[in-house]
Chain A
Amino acid sequence: MSRSITKFAASVATLASGICLSGCAVLHHVQIGDLDNRGKLRAFDIKVSETGINLDEAAEIGKAVSRKNSQVIEDINAIISLFQMGPRTGNMVFNDKFAEGVIDLIYKECPSGRVTGLTSIREMRKYPVISGEIVKVTGYCIEGEGRRNS
């Protein structure tokens, strides 16, 4: 009996750690641009990301680890939260310019600049405390003698 309970606990722990390590994919925003299907299209995929931090979860862990300083941790979290107000998607990041290189990356993927069907996806990979704040852009590069956008 005890062996089967241990086996069950181990399988539950494996499942939980698998879920934690693979991260939950959260979708914040999707935008699909105009599509030109009149030439030969080559798909491309660009992803830029930055590490985000969930301060509430960090504070909860801090409080659980150090019960003595739980009030101090709570106060620090409250003070930081005051500077993080306003609408946002995902957790806070320390570099707000991480998505600015997307245009250069698109030109790298499609040097002709004849791009169509740009789909911008704002997503997040959620792990305990930290997260991957991702901006993904997929699209098509018009190759060959396709007609230009009119």
Chain B
Amino acid sequence: MSMSFRKSIRGAMGLCALSFMLTSCVSLQSVSMTQIPSDRDDKVSASADQFLFLNIAFDNDFVNDVNKQLLERCKGGRITGILTKHEYINYFLHIFARRRVTADGFCLKKA
């Protein structure tokens, strides 16, 4: 096997490893769903996240923002069919990570 071929294989493997390390890995922690309405025209969504360094978090208060955003996006209506997702995004070896909660639902303005 020639020296240049070995070098190129090593380079490709290194590039592959680097891309694995730099690509963030997402894991789904929990999912929940409420009753889906028949009228699904007005879709609303909200999300809140928290950046983590060394996986240290001092509170989970960021979750409260999701409710507030949903209320803001459906004034005077009712939101049903809410799909809640709680994800964990690992950016780099669990040193830099993010927790994200997203909620998608349908706004019903009719009585």
Q: Are B111 and A34 in contact (CB under 8 A)?
A: no
> A133 within 8 Å of B by Cβ?
no
B8-50 Cβ-contact flags toward A at 8 Å (1 or 0): 0000000000000000000001101011000000000000000
Total A-B pairs, Cβ < 8 A: 87
A37-57 Cβ-contact flags toward B at 8 Å (1 or 0): 110010000000000000000
Q: Are B63 and A37 in contact (CB under 8 A)?
A: no
Q: Are A27 and B76 in contact (CB under 8 A)?
A: no
Instruction: Give the interface size class of chain B.
Output: 20 to 34
Q: Are B77 and A37 in contact (CB under 8 A)?
A: yes
Q: Which of chain B's residues has its CB closest to A27's CB?
A: B60
Q: Are B67 and A32 in contact (CB under 8 A)?
A: yes
Which residues of chain B come closer than 8 Å to A41, judged between CB atoms? 71
> A121 within 8 Å of B by Cβ?
yes
| Nearest CB of B to A37, in Å | 5
User: Which residues of A are interface residues toward B (Cβ below 8 A)?
Assistant: 19, 22-38, 41, 117, 119, 121, 123, 136, 138, 147, 149-150
